[in-house]
Structure 1
Amino acid sequence: MLTFALKRALSMIVSLAAASLVIFFAIEVIPGDPAAYMLGMNASEDTLAALRSELGLDQGMAERYVGWITGMLAGDFGTSYTYRTPVAEMVGERLWISLPLTLYALALSTFVAFPVGILAASNRGGVLDTGIMGLTQLGIAVPNFWFAMMLVVIFAINLGWFTAGGFPGWEGGLLAGLKALTLPAIALALPQASVLARVMRSALIDTLHEDFVRTARAKGLTRGQALRRHALRNAMIPVLTIIGLQFSFLLAGAIIIENVFFLPGLGRLIFQAITQRDLIVVESVVMLLVFAVILVTFLVDLAYAAVDPRLRRGR
């Protein structure tokens, strides 16, 4: 197990190094001068040169890359060009919104998808299975931003059960914070729950035809007992893959939903930084999200090894 974990950790480090190079140089070649954006089109060259020097934009790309990487390793993500505030401080404030939203949406999608997928697999080919598969297909096809707007119209404007947007802050209480995140979490969870339910159904159906399940049935276990005691655990490997990918997607892909609900999270921060040409914020936040994606993938690999002993033996 230790050898397996060390190999995956080395792979994670290599992936992070490659991602940092791609992120930095891809963003740096985007047309536009942050100094010119901040000072306006009529700024003099002397003023622009002074601001570029202050922001470190007059240095070479390689020098700036090394400074950016070494700063991040020390916990310093740089200073925002626009707000003149440490990026780490801005990320920390917004992470307390984006991370709970991601976990909330992931919990909703998992709690819905598991029983729905198991129910569909248990009734394969029946009316219930056909109806569930139709609903999950609809959940995948419906754009989550459109679904988010429908939630606002129905539950915020018409029924008045929730607010249409904004976030009161956690200092207002846990219930108030979760209430503000409920509609965004549902909008994010719908397509993820649909995908996860379909994967759970397919994995269970494949596992139920394995020899060890037939043996368990031959020993007197009912179909439900064989499913819960034997098939479910062995069907979890593809499901764990999807859950890991969903966490990464939800954390990094909530830009549109956060803007629909006016949530001051990481997605909205990236959107604002792109429009303002605040390169250091875009680079640092994107790198942080990439790190989260790779870290979750690493943890999913470890979960694989815990579920399937063959991986620990290198097979």
Structure 2
Amino acid sequence: MLGYLTKRLISLTLSLAVASLVIFAVVEIAPGDPAAYMLGINAQPDTLAALRSELGLDQPKAQRYLSWVTGMLTGDFGTSYTYRAPVAQMIAERLWISLPLALYALALAALIAFPAGILAAARRGRPADLAVMAGTQLGVAIPNFWFAMLLVLLFAIKLRVMPSGGFPGWDEPLDALKSLTLPAVALALPQAAILARILRSSLIDALGEDYIRTARAKGLTRWQALRRHGLRNALIPVLTILGLQFSFLLAGAIIIEQVFYLPGLGRLIFQAISQRDLIVVESVVMLLVFAVIVVNFLTDLAYAAVDPRLRR
């Protein structure tokens, strides 16, 4: 187990190093000058040069990369070109919205998908299975932003039981959770549909294994064999999907945050790209990549917990 953990840690470190190089290179080659964007098209050359010097844009790219990386290692993400505020502070403020939203949506997706997937596998070929598969097909097909607008029309405008957008802050936890409910449901629906289909397929494969037939021969019902023996062995592909879904929910909620006017990380990176605020774009994208890699690392550890063969 120690060797497996060491290999995964080395892979994590190398992945972060390569990701930082790629992110910096891609953002730097993007067209446009942040200083020229801030000052406008009529800016004087000496004023433009002074602002570039103040922002550190006149330094060699290698020096800027090293300063950015070493700063991140110490918790200093730099200063926003546009807002003239510490990037770390901006990220921390937005993370307290995007992270709970992602966790909330993932929990809803799991609560929907696990019972649906298990029911479909246990009732394969029966009306319950057909109903679940039809529902998951619909969930995959419906765009989440369109579903989000339907939720707003129904629950916020017609029934007036949920807020249509905005975020009141965590001073009132119930109001904050209420404001995240519709966005979380909109994000959870397609993820729950995907997860339920993967779980059903994995469970059906597990039910065809010899150890399931042996369990049935010993007197266990189909449901008991599925719950005691099939479910754990079917979890490895499900854990992979869960890890990928959390990463997607954390990084890919830009449209949903726009629909519900949530000041999260997705909205921050959208604004930073439109304003050519390079340091914010680099730092937020690197943070999201770090989250994806760490979640994959934790997923690998969960594999080892589920499958004892990996510990050797």
State the TM-score, normalized to the length of structure 1. 0.98
**Structure 1 residue 131 displacement after superposition:** 1.5
**Structure 1 residue 309 displacement after superposition:** 1.2
The CA distance in 2 between the partners of 1:22 and 1:28, in whole Å, is 10
Give the corresponding residue for 2:225: 226
The CA distance in 2 between the partners of 1:38 and 1:162, in whole Å, is 39
Q: What secondary structure does 1:170 align onto?
A: coil
**Structure 1 residue 311 displacement after superposition:** 1.2
Give the corresponding residue for 2:177: 178
**Structure 1 residue 310 displacement after superposition:** 1.2
The CA distance in 1 between the partners of 2:135 and 2:224, in whole Å, is 27
Give the corresponding residue for 1:304: 303
Give the corresponding residue for 1:128: 128
CA RMSD in angstroms comes to: 0.6
**Structure 1 residue 249 displacement after superposition:** 0.4
Give the corresponding residue for 2:140: 140
**Structure 1 residue 130 displacement after superposition:** 1.1
Q: What secondary structure does 2:58 align onto?
A: coil
- 1:44-123, aligned counterparts within 5 Å? 44-123=44-123
The CA distance in 1 between the partners of 2:147 and 2:53, in whole Å, is 46
The CA distance in 2 between the partners of 1:97 and 1:239, in whole Å, is 26
**Structure 1 residue 188 displacement after superposition:** 0.3
Instruction: Work out whether 1:14 is the aligned partner of 2:10.
Output: no
The superposition leaves residues 38-76 of structure 1 with CA deviations (integer Å, 9 ceiling, x where unpaired) of: 111111000000000000000111111111000001110
The CA distance in 1 between the partners of 2:61 and 2:145, in whole Å, is 37
Q: What secondary structure does 2:81 align onto?
A: coil
Give the corresponding residue for 1:258: 257
4+ residue runs of structure 1 moved beyond 6 angstroms? none
The CA distance in 2 between the partners of 1:210 and 1:47, in whole Å, is 73
**Structure 1 residue 94 displacement after superposition:** 0.6
The CA distance in 2 between the partners of 1:303 and 1:246, in whole Å, is 15
The CA distance in 2 between the partners of 1:265 and 1:111, in whole Å, is 24
Q: What secondary structure does 2:75 align onto?
A: coil
Identity of aligned pairs, percent?
Answer: 74
State the TM-score, normalized to the length of structure 2. 0.99
The superposition leaves residues 160-206 of structure 1 with CA deviations (integer Å, 9 ceiling, x where unpaired) of: 111110000001x2111110000000000010000000011001000
The CA distance in 1 between the partners of 2:84 and 2:5, in whole Å, is 40
Q: What secondary structure does 2:147 align onto?
A: helix
Q: What secondary structure does 2:117 align onto?
A: helix
Aligned residue type for 1:12: L
The CA distance in 1 between the partners of 2:278 and 2:232, in whole Å, is 45
Q: What secondary structure does 1:269 align onto?
A: helix
The CA distance in 2 between the partners of 1:180 and 1:48, in whole Å, is 43
Structure 1's unaligned 5+ residue stretches are none
Aligned residue type for 1:204: L
